[in-house]
Amino acid sequence: MLAAAAAAVPGVLSGYALREATTILMFMALALSWNLIGGLCGYPSFGNVAFFGIGAYATAGLVANLHWPFGAALAAAAAAAVAFAAAIGPVVLRLHGHYFAIATLGTAQALGQIVIMVPWVGGPNGVILRVPFAPSAADFYYYMAGAVAAALLITYAVLRGSWGYACRMIRQDEVAAAASGVNTTFYKTACWALSGFVAALVGGVYALWITFVNPPSVFDPVISLTMVVLALVGGAGTLWGPVLGAFVVENIDQYLWARLLTAHTLFLGVVIVVIVLFLPRGLWPYLAGGEGLTWRSLFEGARRLRV
């Protein structure tokens, strides 16, 4: 029913409304991407925008310079992101907590500076995509919907198998998981590679959508922060939590942006504070019936943090 409703959206919406629906789907996929490493394994990556940028730049470069078909360029971009995650994952994932968060943020910013020095992708001027047959607004909507479906299927497959149990053990106590025989390096790196795969798919579609790619637009740390916020609001480590978080936050964010521009700039910060203090597990566990929402549960986070 959900898939049928999503498929019918382009027949109902058009113009700005369809563009906003596409944007919401994009952030759903990005939140699910972050959830694979941040929610399932408990590694708070603040640099997942690196994969988004790799996908955007690789797709743009292959289409604009080598005239590859979009599908082939998108597949190659996703493969490049997976290779990058597999290469640096065993090193970066040795870090924990805020050290890992800072390292991933630094990695993303370093990539943004590196591409400025690469003439093949336009250097600081960026890349303009020109394709013979430009997709329609409905096509981009379905591209983003496909990315969301792929992210959901990947997350479902991970959660349902032994892989999911290994990730939960790593999130709860990595030392105990390793002592139990879990190859923690393999599972963490694999989850990060899958996270990169999804983010690169979204980045590639986004590059074709906006037809222009430069470092500030695809290596923006705010994109990484938004992924984290959306997953936390909905419920990190769950299947549907990031989807719910993206739907709720992005709709409110767009409402504020259209009517209260100043409040719009404060919105993400306020959401972070509220979630940490009152809903540390996100919205989905309560809506799914797994937990009861009471006044005591609302203030548990504030009590634990002694606020």
In a domain? residue 70: yes
Are the CB atoms for 207 and 213 separated by under 8 Å?
A: yes
Asked if the structure places residue 123 within a domain, the reply is yes
Query: What's the confidence (pLDDT) of residue 292?
Result: 58
| Per-residue exposure over 156-190, b if at least 16 CB sit within 10 Å of its own CB, e if not | eebbeeebbebbebbbeebeebeeeebebeebbbb
Angle, CA of 248, 280 and 259, to the nearest 5°: 30
| Of 24, 55, 22, nearest in space to 234 by CA | 24
Residues of the chain with pLDDT under 50: none
Vertex 56, ends 53 and 61: CA angle to 5°? 120
- Tell me which residue of 246, 55, 59, 223 sits closest to 152, measured CA to CA: 246
pLDDT computed for residue 276 by the predictor: 72
Residues counted in the chain: 307
Q: Is residue 243 part of a domain?
A: no
Pair 98, 80: CB distance under 8 Å: no
Kindly state whether residue 277 falls inside one of the protein's structural domains.
no
- pLDDT attached to residue 285: 81
Amino acid at 253: D
d(CA 132, CA 283) in angstroms, rounded, equals 44
- Residue 300: what pLDDT? 65
Residues 198 and 150: beta-carbon distance below 8 Å: yes
Q: Which two tokens stand for residue 243?
A: 């989807």
Task: Report d(CA 150, CA 9) in Å as an integer.
Answer: 19
Flag whether 108 is in a domain.
Answer: yes
Cα-Cα-Cα-Cα dihedral of 145, 147, 150, 152, to 10°?
-70
- The answer to whether residue 157 is domain-embedded is yes
Name the residue among 284, 49, 243 with its Cα closest to residue 155. 243
Domain that holds residue 174: 2-220
Q: How many domains does the chain have?
A: 1
- The reported pLDDT for the residue numbered 53 is 96
Residue with tokens 């190659």: 76
A 10 A CB-CB count for 148 gives 24
Element (H, E) at 128: strand 127-128
Q: What pLDDT, in 10s, does the model give residues 207-234?
A: 999 999 999 999 999 899 899 989 999 9
Which of 268, 285, 244, 253 lies closest to 28 in space, CA to CA?
Answer: 244
What distances in angstroms separate CA 200 from CA 57, 90, 124, one per listed residue?
Answer: 9, 20, 21
**AA identity, residue 17:** A
User: Are 210 and 23 contacting, i.e. CB atoms less than 8 angstroms apart?
Assistant: no
CA-based nearest residue to 121, from 175, 180, 77: 77
Predicted confidence at residue 61, as pLDDT, reads 93
22-63 pLDDT tens trace: 999 999 999 999 999 999 999 999 999 999 999 999 999 999
Helices (H), the chain: 2-12, 15-34, 49-65, 70-92, 97-116, 137-160, 162-172, 174-179, 184-210, 215-218, 221-234, 241-259, 261-278, 284-287, 295-298, 300-304
